Amino acid sequence: MFVKPKGGVGRLTDALAASLGDRVVTGAPVGSLAELGESEEASAIVLAVPAFEAARLIGPAAPGAVGELNAIPYASTGVVFLIFGEGTQAALPDGTGFVVPRGKAPMTASTWISSKWPDPSFGTRAVIRCYVGGVGDEDVLDAADDELVGACGRHLAAVLDLPDRPQAWSVVRWIRAMPQYEIGHLERVRSIRRDLPAGMFVTGSAYDGVGIPDCVRAAGETAQQVLAHLDRTTIEKETAR
């Protein structure tokens, strides 16, 4: 039921960049579109970045869109990875994890990685991922790593036959990572796209869905819009001759 790329989701973009070869440049920071315009000429620009970053990059090129981009709220979240000792996988019941009612634990959900995506390297260890933070609970992320690990470990031990302290752990914080779709979001997105200059496009989790399938679908739709724009531009140039 669940699949993931071996080696992490980053392999998707790595494979895409590799297939494009020298037609794409990666790892090149862009300070603003104005700065980009001094050295590069583009027939179309696609901004696949968080909404607040798109607003920063667009700047004076589309002031109407900037306000709406900055109005899309974001929540911060974090992930606490816990690895327990050999033999602990047997303590995990059938399933892949659980969701926690708001305010009942320091975590919002727990995923049993060693059950959901088993790997020979896990051996018989229980490998668990706990989600922390999110809307209304972002102050949890201010706690020290050791405090987050201890709190998650104690709560897991209260419901599962696990030690209250893992053998190894890691904490990752994702600041302003999750866009929030408020009432009126679709109209806001339409307004943003209406206010963008011809040949400039936005896509990504801030607009048409946060999941990977949503982003892939939206990217395909954006690519079609880019092609249509390039076709119109070509026709206009040929007509003007």
Q: What SS3 class is residue 100?
A: coil
Calculate the average pLDDT of the chain.
91
Phi (first) and psi of residue 210, to 5 degrees: -95, -20
149 against 12, higher pLDDT: 149
Half-sphere exposure (Cβ direction) of 111: Cα atoms closer than 13 Å: 11
> DSSP secondary-structure letter at 84?
P
Please tell me the distance from the alpha carbon of residue 107 to that of residue 148, in angstroms, as a whole number: 9
Predicted pLDDT at 32:
76
Mean pLDDT (whole number) for 200-206: 96
Confidence band, pLDDT 50/70/90 cuts, at residue 237? confident
CA 43 to mean position of chain CA atoms: 27
Please tell me the distance from the alpha carbon of residue 59 to that of residue 36, in angstroms, as a whole number: 12
Predicted pLDDT at 29:
85
Answer whether 0.85 is exceeded by the pTM.
Answer: no
What tokens does 53 get? 């970053």
Confidence band, pLDDT 50/70/90 cuts, at residue 1? low
In 3D space, the residue among 141, 148, 197 whose CA is nearest the CA of residue 174 turns out to be 141
What tokens does 69 get? 């981009």
CB under 8 Å to 67, separation ≥6 — which residues?
55
In 3D space, the residue among 86, 85, 94 whose CA is nearest the CA of residue 115 turns out to be 94
Tens-digit pLDDT profile for residues 95-135: 999 999 888 888 999 999 999 989 999 999 999 999 999 88
What tokens does 114 get? 């060693």
What tokens does 32 get? 């603003």
Cβ(171)–Cβ(145) below 8 Å = yes
Q: What SS3 class is residue 64?
A: helix
Size (the chain), residues: 241
Tens-digit pLDDT profile for residues 23-82: 888 888 887 776 554 556 788 999 999 999 999 999 888 888 999 999 999 999 999 999
Cβ(228)–Cβ(221) below 8 Å = no
Half-sphere exposure (Cβ direction) of 79: Cα atoms closer than 13 Å: 10
Domains and CATH numbers, the chain: 10-73+181-240 (3.50.50.60), 74-179 (3.90.660.20)
Please tell me the distance from the alpha carbon of residue 153 to that of residue 148, in angstroms, as a whole number: 8
